[in-house]
Structure 1
Amino acid sequence: MEMRRCDHCDLLIGAGCACSRPAQREAKEFVGPSGTRFSGASMLISPTRHAHRPGCTHLSISDITPPVWGWISDPDPHLWARLSEEHPVHATEGNTARYATKRCQTCDA
């Protein structure tokens, strides 16, 4: 049996990986009311400079629209862990003026 490594933490899935990014989240596609599409791997950037993951329990997909929100459709798997005040993350789609300096605590759990 082949052991896969997590794209986020690089540990073996099911044998050390404790990320909240299960494979099924990665495959799911989200569609906003304006037809905006992003994958479950996207990093969403709010007006409050928080980064979220699609499926966050306190967000509504209908809220995630440009020009209010920005996002990165295919971020580096380690970008989430590096995100900080010293390493802000800039949106590449939607409102590209948005940037995040904090991770959502719900998404980070």
Structure 2
Amino acid sequence: MSRDVKEERCERCDCIIGLGCACSPDGSVSKAKPTPHTRQEWRRFPADTILISPTQYAHLPGACGHLTEELVTPPRWGWIPDPAAGLWDRLGISHPATATAGNTTRQAVRRCEDCQTAWSAT
């Protein structure tokens, strides 16, 4: 007797809900002080690589606790290994970032809030 299990992915971080997604279930931003996150060293992606999820979010390697390097694989993800200076800061609906590696059809139109916080702290 087999049972089909559908992986439900979070629209914000693209992690499987209940298996890695740490986002608030109601989508609200927590008013509590965020827990400090130590940026993890990733092996395949330099720290300035812009990772692009299937949900059009941009992430930075190791900058958020809800994304691991093992999840970032084509064809689900695309990335920009050597982004132009200032691309992260300009990124938005009016200035999408298009992947140059992995799944090159991926475009990011918004930044992960946790990654943005980590980027701003550097």
Normalized against structure 2, the TM-score is what? Answer: 0.60
Matched, 1:49 2:42: no
Matches within 5 A, 1:12-51: 30-31=42-43, 37-51=44-58
Which is strand-richer, 1 or 2? Answer: 1
Which region of structure 1 is more displaced relative to structure 2, 55-64 or 96-105? Answer: 55-64
Normalized against structure 1, the TM-score is what? Answer: 0.66
Describe the superposition over 1:67-100 as per-residue Cα deviations: whole angstroms up to 9, x where unpaired: 1100000101300110010000000000000000
Describe the superposition over 1:22-69 as per-residue Cα deviations: whole angstroms up to 9, x where unpaired: xxx7xx5x34xxxxx221110000000000000021101110001110
* Separation of aligned partners in 1, 2:116 and 2:59: 8
Segments of 5+ residues of structure 2 without an aligned counterpart are 1-38, 118-122
* Separation of aligned partners in 2, 1:38 and 1:89: 17
Look up the match of 1:34: none
Following TM superposition, the consecutive aligned residue runs of length 4 or more in structure 1 with deviations greater than 2 angstroms are none
Question: Offset of 1:106 from its aligned partner?
Answer: 0.4
Segments of 5+ residues of structure 1 without an aligned counterpart are 1-24, 32-36
Q: Find the structure with the greater CA-based Rg.
A: 2
Taking only the aligned residue pairs, the percentage that are identical comes to 52
* Separation of aligned partners in 2, 1:52 and 1:46: 8
